[in-house]
Amino acid sequence: MKSRKRILLVDDDTMIHQLLRVVLEPQGHEIDSAYDGIDGWRRVETTPYDLVVTDVRMPGLDGLELLRRIRQGHPEVKVMVMTGDSTPGRVLTAIQEQAYTYFSKPFAPTAVADVIAEALRAPSWQDDIKVISARADWITLLVRCKVEVAERLLQFLRELKMDVVEEQRENIATAFHELLLNAIEHGGRSDPQQQVRVSYLRTSRAILYHIQDPGEGFSIEQLPHAALSNASGDPLQHLARREEAGQRPGGFGILLARQLVDELIYNEKGNEVLLIKYLDPPTAGDEKGGAKT
C-alpha cells in the first residue's frame, strides 16, 4: 500500500490548483493549497509537508524567496518550482537553492504528476547536485552517480532554453543525457558516493558540454558492449554482450550522440568527453556592426 504524502500547492492561479488536484488526488495524497507566497510560508512553518510545488511570480512573496526560506528553515522538504516566465537566472537560482526540479508553464498535468511521484519516492537528495559555477554562460556542477539525478539535471538544463530552435535543443539534450548516463553507470558505477563533473558553456557560436567521470576511462575502439563497435552488418550485436554481462539494454549512447552534435571529443584516458554544437551565425541585424566573417 502506497504511503500517503502531504503536498502543498502555492500559486495565485486557481486553474493550476484545479489541474494538479485532478491528477494528484487519485494517487491518495493529501493536497493543501495556498494562493500567495506568504500564506505558503505560513503553512510550511506549521505543517510537515513532503513536497511543496510553487509558482515563481506571486504577490507578497515570490516562489524563489519561498524556496530560500524553506531551504533554510525546513531543508528536508522537497520543492518544485514552476513558472510561466522562465529565465536562465531563475533556473540557476533554483539549482543553487536546491529545488528538486523546475518546469515551465504551460505544462502537461500528467507529466508533472509523474515528476511529483518521482520526487516523493526519492530518498536522500539534498546534495545530489552541487553548484561550482552558476553563470548563465558557464555552469559547472558536481552530480552524484545516481540515474535519477541525471533526469533531474536534464530538466534543469532544458529549461535554460539556450535560444535555439526546439529540434536543436532536444538533440543537444538527448546527446548530453546519453553520455551523462554513461558517465554515471560506467565511470561512476552508479555509486552515489562518486560524482560526475558537468559543465555547460555557451558562446556566441556554440554550445558545449563537458563531462568528467571518476572512472579509470576506456578506449573508444574497444567497447564490445556498445553499438559503436558493432559489425556493419549486425547493428544489434552488442546487445548479446550486454546481456551476458548483466547490463541493461542500451549501448547506443555514443553512436547516437555523434549523430546529434557536431563534434564529440574524448580525452586520452577516456573519462572526459566534450560535446560541441555549432550555432548558426547571427544575421547583420542581430549583431552590432553586422555579421562577422
Residues 269 and 148 placed together within one structural domain of the fold: yes
Domain boundary among 122, 146, 162: 122
Residues 143 and 280 placed together within one structural domain of the fold: yes
CATH number of the domain bearing residue 215: 3.30.565.10
User: Which phi and psi angles does 20 have, rounded to 5°?
Assistant: -70, -35
C-alpha cell at 37: 507566497
Residues 103 and 196 placed together within one structural domain of the fold: no
Residues 113 and 177 placed together within one structural domain of the fold: no
Q: What is the pLDDT of residues 52-61, one digit of tens each?
A: 999 999 988 9
Identify the DSSP state of 104: E
Q: What is the spatial distance between Cα 72 and Cα 65, in angstroms, rounded to a whole number? A: 11
Residues 50 and 183 placed together within one structural domain of the fold: no
C-alpha angle 124-195-267 in degrees, rounded to nearest 5:
160
- Answer for the pair 34, 10: CB distance below 8 angstroms, yes or no: yes
Residues 245 and 147 placed together within one structural domain of the fold: yes
Q: What is the mean pLDDT of residues 146-154?
A: 92
Q: What is the mean pLDDT of residues 104-123?
A: 88
Q: What is the spatial distance between Cα 170 and Cα 192, in angstroms, rounded to a whole number? A: 27
Residues 218 and 262 placed together within one structural domain of the fold: yes
The single residue listed with the C-alpha cell 523546475 is 102
pLDDT tier, 265 (very low <50, low <70, confident <90, very high otherwise)? very high
Q: What is the mean pLDDT of residues 254-271?
A: 90
Residues 152 and 50 placed together within one structural domain of the fold: no
267: left (phi over 0), alpha (psi -120 to 50) or beta: beta
Domain that holds residue 57: 1-122
Could you give the number of structural domains in the chain? 2
| Euclidean distance between the first and the last CA atom of the chain, given in angstroms as a whole number | 65
Domain boundary among 77, 96, 122: 122
Residues 103 and 233 placed together within one structural domain of the fold: no
Residues 61 and 133 placed together within one structural domain of the fold: no
Q: What is the mean pLDDT of residues 242-251?
A: 53
Residues 35 and 134 placed together within one structural domain of the fold: no
Q: What is the pLDDT of residues 269-293, one digit of tens each?
A: 999 999 999 987 655 554 444 333 2
Domain boundary among 88, 122, 156: 122
Closest CA to 82 of 69, 99, 68, 96: 99
CATH number of the domain bearing residue 68: 3.40.50.2300
